A = this chain, B = another copy of it.
């Protein structure tokens, strides 16, 4: 399902940056034990709700968790989150493959290519 087959550089980058944070790692771990809604999860892991909200957005943007807005029996809107079944392989080759398709921070790549172009052949 997930990107075991060469994810985009930006894709992998987002995933690694998202998971490379103790809070977010813990959030994924907490959701791995079962889906939960924001306010409750915030209470359980002892984190301010706006902060958790931000981290969840980062995780969702990376495709590591999915959130669905549901209505409780009382009619209250509650946003439930659960982990996505991701599978990433982290090896030198995989990183190299992904890095080849890095787009965003092409700033220094441009710099490199300018040098490249300058020396011509």
Residues of A within 8 A of B (CB): 9, 12-13, 15-23, 25-26, 28-29, 32-33, 43-47, 83-93, 95-96, 98-100, 102, 104-105, 108-115
Kindly report which residue of chain B lies nearest to residue A84, judged by CB atoms: B92
> Residue of B at shortest CB range from A22?
B105
Number of copies of this protein chain within its complex: 2
Check B16 against A19 for contact (C-beta < 8 Å).
yes
Contact A89 B92 (CB under 8 A): no
* Dominant secondary structure of chain A at its interface with chain B: helix
Q: Decide: B29 and A99 in contact? CB cutoff 8 A.
A: yes
Query: Are A96 and B29 in touch, CB under 8 angstroms?
Result: yes
Docked CA distance A33–B93 (Å):
10
Residues of B within 8 A of A23 (CB): 105, 108
Q: Contact: B112 with A46, CB < 8 Å? A: yes
Q: Specify which chain B residues have a CB less than 8 angstroms from the CB of A95 in the assembled complex.
A: 19, 25, 28-29, 32
Taken together as a complex, chains A and B put the C-alpha atoms of A20 and B111 apart, in Å, by 21
Q: Which residues of B contact A91 (CB under 8 A)?
A: 85-88
> Are B17 and A13 in contact, with the CB atoms below 8 A?
no
CB distance from A102 to the nearest CB of B (A): 6
Instruction: Pick the most buried of A19, A83, A104: most chain B CB atoms within 10 A of its CB.
Output: A19
